A and B are shown apart, each in its own frame.
Chain A
Amino acid sequence: MARIRLERVAHSYLASPRREADWALKEIDMEWADGGAYALLGPSGCGKTTLLNIVSGLLQPTSGRILFGERDVTATPPDRRNIAQVFQFPVVYDTMSVHDNLAFPLRNRGMAEAEVRARVRDIAALLDLEPVLGTRATNLSADGKQKISLGRGLARADVNVIMFDEPLTVIDPHLKWRLRSKLKELHQRIGLTMVYVTHDQTEAMTFADQVVVMHEGAVVQVGTPVELFERPRHTFVGHFIGSPGMNILPCEVRDGAARFAGRAVATANAPGAAIGRGGGRAELGVRPEFVRFAADGIPVEVTRVADAGRHRIVEARAGETPIRLLLGEGEAVPADARLGFDPRFTHLYVDGWLAGEATA
């Protein structure tokens, strides 16, 4: 087990990348603490699987270094990195029993048979696979197979990190939750570093202590689920995370204040820095959770109210700009609808980035 450090790692699938868009993964620096649970979150094609494969050693990065602890593993093949990976589609060795599947990586490393058996028993107990140890792996359901994939990783002692590449894709919805809580439980029990790639924010948020949000080959924010929710560093994070996503409202910056629909709007981050640089596209970001009906607010026209169970989603319009807000049960939509934003969670963005923060 070790801390994992990525130093100026970048990757392109092309032989000679020239343009910005040629890079599947733009230069990143990152550190994953030993025993942490991390999620790489982003839409398809954002580079998260590329990053994962670089850490596992299935891909050689075009530039940069990967360190496990103090050891440089950039050129080390996957089988000698001591990592485990669970793939999107469960990989099991069809002709082998569940027991032999779990024993496979151990036998490949020449472990004594008695030790193999003991180890497999432990892992099977951990994953509730004991009753099926004797059956052929092909006969298991998708979630059972995925557990075998995971078990093959866990079976080896001193695994540095377990990586999950969208492991719940082919799992039935009602089993997803169960397998996910199993993973969480495993993480707490054995304290291994785990990295979980997904495009599903719920999976990322429930699994990880730290979520790495990626967009177009770059890391846009690393933070706890709460940080991502309350203080998105980029408008992409704002609308990708949360359901519905953050409202992004075009605004002006004048006299040291952000102005929207002809009114000054108080924001959590000071707009001073943005004005100092004299430009860029200015936007306000505020989540539907932090928009309220307020008597002295911005006048809007309510266009739709949708029931979403515990709350209702109100779609409104200020001039041409759509704004969404959440309305709790029992709250009514006033006749003269005016909206106010919670200043603690209203942020100013310039060119997509949170104003006043250094852009990545």
Chain B
Amino acid sequence: MSARVVNNRAWWLVLPVVILVGFNAVIPLMTVVNYSVQETFGNNRFLFEGVKWFSDVMHSARFHDALKRQLLFTAIILAIEVPLGVAIALAMPRRGAWASACLVLMSMPLLIPWNVVGSMWNILALPDLGLLGWTLNSLGINYNYTRQPFAAWATIIAMDVWHWTSLVALLSYAGLSAIPPAYYQAAKIDGASSWAIFRYVQLPKMRRVLTIAVLLRFMDSFNIYTEPFVLTGGGPGNATTLLSIDLVKVALGQFDLGPAGAMSLIYFLIILLLSWLFYRVMTSGEEDS
């Protein structure tokens, strides 16, 4: 027995992290798991329901609609923010005072809380008072986000693009800055056009940071809540009821903890699955290197 003296006191050193992760992730997640398999009544009475809520959610048209909206929203966001971010990074100066100024300017939107971004755009886009809404209407464009689903979508997308394109731009910029000058010099000597330089030098070298940028933007936009909530609360009608909005309506509006728990877990698994897919696709070419 004494041959294996192990100093178990070292485990105490891990304790803070264990507690942190426990309170932060494990306990809340388990609570959700707990809710998702029970029917909740008042007075802390619960009834075990098995996978009933999961089956209900999977077959609910409402969930399907919210999921479709969510997928469309995220697809649009990625389709705009990634190319735009890369384009901005390419246009940013590489050195000198302007480079620093650009970096500071680009980080500004990232420092603003979601809620404030939502409120800002809400006011900016007010059809009668807001600078944007008023201007659009004065120009003869009928714009009212409380009535037109398209206007509401456009506004939320504009908010997100304004808020988060910087992130993609800054990450791409970091990727670009890491390319040794010899690559550009060699490409110049090889007579490469700007497009060829982008396609064969810059883009391949940005691949890793772009993977991170796409993953972050995917996960974040899939989780979007504050912007549509502040703007229209998911309306007009259900037009901007994305997954989070729907989830909160079920959990806190209707207080259906069981279905909400099941929905959360399904939501979580979708993000996990799609993130993994993205990651696999974007890093597939590196396997053999």
Contacts and interface: CB of A to CB of B under 8 A. Distances in A.
Interface of A: 56, 58, 77-79, 83-85, 87-89, 91, 93-96, 104-105, 108-109, 136, 138-139, 149, 152-153
A93 B201 CA distance: 6
Contacts of A95: 200, 204, 285
A56 B204 contact: no
B289 A139 contact: yes
Nearest to B186: A91
Contact of B189 (A56, A88, A139): A56
Contacts of A109: 191
Given A89-B180, A136-B289, A139-B289, A105 B204 contact: no
Given A93-B200, A96-B200, A108-B196, A149 B186 contact: yes
A84 B185 CA distance: 11
Given A79-B190, A88-B182, A91-B182, 10 more contacts: A79-B188, A79-B189, A79-B191, A85-B185, A85-B186, A89-B182, A96-B200, A105-B191, A136-B288, A139-B288
Chain A binding surface, main DSSP class: mixed
Nearest to B205: A94
Chain B binding surface, main DSSP class: helix
B192 interface: yes
29 contacts: A56-B189, A77-B188, A78-B188, A79-B188, A79-B189, A79-B190, A79-B191, A83-B189, A85-B186, A87-B182, A89-B180, A91-B183, A93-B201, A93-B204, A94-B204, A94-B205, A94-B289, A95-B200, A95-B204, A95-B285, A96-B200, A104-B192, A104-B200, A105-B190, A105-B191, A108-B192, A109-B191, A149-B186, A153-B189
Contact of B186 (A77, A87, A138, A139): A87
Shortest beta-carbon contacts, A-B, top 8: A105-B190, A91-B186, A108-B191, A79-B191, A87-B182, A93-B200, A95-B204, A138-B289
Q: Which residue, B185, B186, B196, has most C-beta atoms of chain A within 10 A?
A: B186
Contacts of B196: 104, 108
B189 A78 contact: yes
A136 B200 CA distance: 13
Interface residues of B, number: 19
A210 to B, nearest CB: 24
B284 interface: no
Nearest to B199: A95
Interface in B167-198: 180, 182-183, 185-186, 188-193, 196
Nearest to B286: A138
Given A93-B204, A136-B289, A139-B288, A58 B190 contact: no
Q: Which residue, B180, B182, B204, has most C-beta atoms of chain A within 10 A?
A: B182
A354 B190 CA distance: 43
Contacts of B190: 79, 104-105, 108, 152
Nearest to B190: A105
B189 A85 contact: yes
Interface string B19-30: 000000000000
Nearest to A152: B190
A135 B281 CA distance: 20
A109 B191 CA distance: 7
Contacts of B192: 104, 108
A97 to B, nearest CB: 12
A78 B185 contact: yes
A48 to B, nearest CB: 16
Interface string B186-225: 1011111100100011001100000000000000000000
A95 B205 CA distance: 10
Nearest to B188: A78
Contacts of B188: 58, 77-79
Contacts of A152: 186, 190
Interface string B92-125: 0000000000000000000000000000000000
A139 B188 CA distance: 24
A58 B204 contact: no
Contacts of B180: 89
A100 to B, nearest CB: 9
Contacts of B285: 95
A297 to B, nearest CB: 53
Contacts of B183: 91
A77 B182 CA distance: 16
Contacts of A91: 182-183, 186
A149 B185 CA distance: 12
A77 B196 CA distance: 17
A108 B192 CA distance: 6
B175 to A, nearest CB: 13
Contact of A87 (B185, B191, B201): B185
Contacts of A104: 190, 192, 196, 200
Interface in B57-105: none
Nearest to B180: A89
Nearest to A80: B191
Contacts of B288: 136, 139
Nearest to B289: A138
A193 to B, nearest CB: 16
A344 to B, nearest CB: 45
A108 B205 CA distance: 20
B78 to A, nearest CB: 22
B80 to A, nearest CB: 25
Q: Which residue, A56, A79, A94, A153, has most C-beta atoms of chain B within 10 A?
A: A94
Contacts of B204: 93-95
A293 B139 CA distance: 101
Contacts of B189: 56, 78-79, 83-85, 105, 153
Contacts of A83: 189
